[in-house]
Amino acid sequence: MLKQYAQINRGDDRKLHLVCAPGFERYLRNFGQAVERLKALDNLSFINSHRLLISEKELPPEIECLKTDCRLADVSTVLADHITHSTSLSLTTADSGYKVVYTGDTRPNDDLIRLGRHGGVPTDLLIHEATFQDGMLHDALSKKHSMFSEAVEDGRKMGAKFTLLTHFSQRYMLALPRMRDSNSDDDKDVGIAFDHMTVSPRTLVHSTLIWPLLEAAFPESSKRAMKRSLSLEMRGETRHEMVPGHYHGRRYRTQ
């Protein structure tokens, strides 16, 4: 991607800003020296995502350059409930104040909800990973990912105007993952994403139409998904209760 960027923007001296985990800059620069020369590194601005945590009192000086170049009013992160150094990110545009929260890989957690409400600015679009379909609680907990209904619930909790689900696991889903009810009014502000999908704030609503179309196009797959989900529910794998003092995504007591 960096090679392609450098080729397309040849002669453009504007910096490419990369918000990334600690240590990623060292990895890329070592790669550029030892493996393959990456010209884009010469004009790359690395920003440690942990320096953008909403708990941080002082922001790195390069953040102002990022906000100016990208016409952003705010860029913030919180630690995700996933592997070490993982973060979730929020971007708020300077022109319209449109706010997007992108979870990355994570379990549901309180910090993510705080990010969605940070600065008193409501979240217009939540892009939430939904690796596992409902009923796969054990897998979601052990691999630190989210289930469909958990992602939707996070959107409700932070007051997101629209939630776009993504990162569906092809490794564990042998059929179409099952939504609670594709015709439910409760999910009219929930859509699903797919590879190479392009949307705008005005066309987001069209993503809600994808699910019934997929069910109609792949009826057998949809039936298998429903059968699998119901089977898991009957075995009690979706039942859980919140441990007092802990957000439901952090710790479960399974029944």
Tens of pLDDT along 10-28? 888 788 899 999 899 999 9
CB-count burial class (<10 Å; 0-12, 13-18, 19+) for 35: exposed
- The token duo for 249 is 């995504």
Together in a domain, 42 and 77? no
pLDDT at 191 over 60: yes
At 38, the pLDDT band (50, 70, 90 cuts) reads: confident
User: Mean pLDDT across the chain, nearest whole number?
Assistant: 83
Are 31 and 86 in a shared domain? no
Tell me whether residue 24 is in a domain. Answer: yes
Top pLDDT among 144 and 234 is at 144
What is the reported pLDDT for 242? 36
Residue 195 pLDDT level (bands cut at 50, 70, 90): confident
Residues 83 and 192 in one domain: yes
Residue 65 lies in a domain: no
In this structure, the answer to whether residues 151 and 235 fall within a common structural domain is yes
Find the mean pLDDT for residues 105-123: 97
Token pair 């007051």 in the structure block, residue: 159
Are 23 and 83 members of one domain?
no
- Is 58 a member of any domain? no
Find the domain containing 25 and state its range. 1-49
Q: What confidence score (pLDDT) does residue 10 get?
A: 82
User: Residue 158, CB half-sphere, CA atoms under 13 Å: how many?
Assistant: 36
What confidence tier does 37 reach under pLDDT thresholds 50, 70, 90? confident
Please give the tally of structural domains in the chain. 2
The pLDDT score that the predictor gives to residue 253 is 32
CATH number of domain containing 122: 3.60.15.10
In a domain, 204, yes or no: yes
Is residue 54, in this structure, part of any structural domain at all? no
Within a domain: residue 189?
yes
- pLDDT at 106 (0 to 100): 98
pLDDT at 245 over 50: no
Residues 196 and 142 in one domain: yes
Residue 59 inside a domain? The answer is no
Distance between CA atoms of residues 89 and 76, nearest Å: 6
Q: How many CB atoms lie within 10 A of CB 104?
A: 17
The residue ranking higher by pLDDT, 75 or 219, is 75
Residue 50 and residue 20: Cα distance in Å, rounded? 8
Pairing of strands 87-93, 99-102: antiparallel
- pLDDT for res 35: 85
Greatest Cα pair distance, the chain, in angstroms, is 61
Give Cβ neighbours of residue 113 (< 8 Å, ≥ 6 apart): 154, 157, 158
The reply to whether 182 and 246 lie within a common domain is yes
36 and 112 fall within a common domain: no
Residue pLDDT, tens place only, 75-107:
999 999 999 999 999 999 999 999 999 999 999
Question: 75 and 42: one domain?
Answer: no
Q: Would you state the pLDDT for residue 159?
A: 97
Read off the pTM: 0.83
155 Cβ contact partners less than 8 Å away, ≥ 6 residues apart: 126, 128, 162, 163, 189, 190
State residue 229's pLDDT score.
66
Same domain, 97 and 223: yes
Question: Are residue 40 and residue 77 in the same domain, yes or no?
Answer: no
Residue with tokens 């939707």: 152
Residues 43 and 75 in one domain: no
> What integer pLDDT is reported at residue 170 of this predicted model?
67
